[in-house]
Amino acid sequence: MIFAIFSRQLNSERTKNLFQELVLFLKEEGQTVLVHENLYHEVKEKEDIGSFKSLDGKRKVNFLLSLGGDGTILETLSIIKNTGIPVLGINMGRLGFLASTVQEEYQSAIKQLLKGKYSISSRTLLQLDSSEKIFDYNVGLNDFVIHKTETSSMITVKTYLNGEFLNSYWADGLIIATPTGSSGYSLSCGGPILFPGSSSFAITPIAPHNLNVRPIVISDQNVLSFKVEGRSHRFLTSIDSRSESITPNVEIAIKKADFCFNLIRLEGQNFHTTLRNKMMWGVDRRNP
C-alpha cells in the first residue's frame, strides 16, 4: 500500500523523532511512503521515499496520514481535493477532535489500517461560488464565515435561500457550518451540534444585535447567497482557516460540494464518544 504523510511543520524534537519513527515503521512493514515536500528534508534515509506537493489521483495513494491537530487536517483538503483519499489524523496538537489518534498509538493504528479494521466517515463539504476569485481553493470542510473587519461597526448580511429572502442578520458576522464544523466556531457562537451524515448546514449569527435571531438548521440541498451592507467598504470572508478581505460588490453563494472528505475512524471510535471524551459533552460530576 502507499501511505502519504503531511504535516504543517515539525517544530520540536519530539515531533521530528515521531516523524522519523513513522517513516521507518512504514518501511519495515513493507509499505511505500510519500512525504509532503515541506517534510522531505527531514527524511534521514531517502532511499525509496518519494515526495509530493498535491495528490491529484494520478498516483494511487491508499491513505494520507496527517501529523498535527485539527487545523492540519483542514489543510489536507486542499492537497487531496476530490480524490477521495482517506485521511487519518495523528494528533500532535491540543484538542484532536478530528485528529483522534494519539501519538503513542500510531503503530497500532497503522496495523489496523493494514488489516482493514477501520471505517470511513464521509464528511460533507461546502463550496463557495463568487463573481470574483477570492480563494485559490474554494471548498471547505468546517465552515464559511462572513465577518466585519476588525475596527468596523456591525454589518448587515442579507441572506437568501434558493434566491428567496430568508433574513437580514445585523451582527458581527455570519457562520455557515457543515456538520463537521458545527462543533467549532459555530458552537462557540451558540450554534447546534450536527452529527455527521445529517445532510444539513447550520446558520449561526456572530454577536447578533437582535436577541430574537437564533441559529437555524437547513438542508444541505439548499443554496445560500448573501448581500453585505455596512459602513465599511470591505469585510472578511473565510473558508476554514483561509481568510480574505473583499468588497460588498462581490457576489457570493454557498452550496454543498459534489464530493466528500473521507475521514478514517478506527475500531471503537465514533462521533458521540469523541464528543464526550474531547469536549466533555454531557459530563456532570453529580452523575458519574
For residues 206 and 188, is the Cβ–Cβ distance under 8 A? Answer: no
DSSP-derived secondary structure for 226-273: EEEE-SSS-EEEEETTEEEEE-TTS-EEEEE-SS-EEEEEETT--HHH
Residue 216: name the closest of 205, 202, 206 by CA: 202
Distance CA 254, CA 46 (A): 43
Q: Which three cell numbers stand for residue 97?
A: 477532535
Active centre residues (catalytic): 70
Nine cell digits for residue 19: 516523524
Lookup: cell for 226: 448573501
User: Please, is 219 exposed, middle or buried when counting C-beta atoms within 10 Å of its C-beta (0-12, 13-18, 19+)?
Assistant: exposed
Structural contact between residues 170 and 153, judged by C-beta atoms closer than 8 angstroms: no
The full length of the chain comes to 288
Separation CA 69–CA 54 (nearest Å) = 20
Residues 6+ apart with CB under 8 A from 92: 7, 15, 18, 67, 68, 69, 99, 103
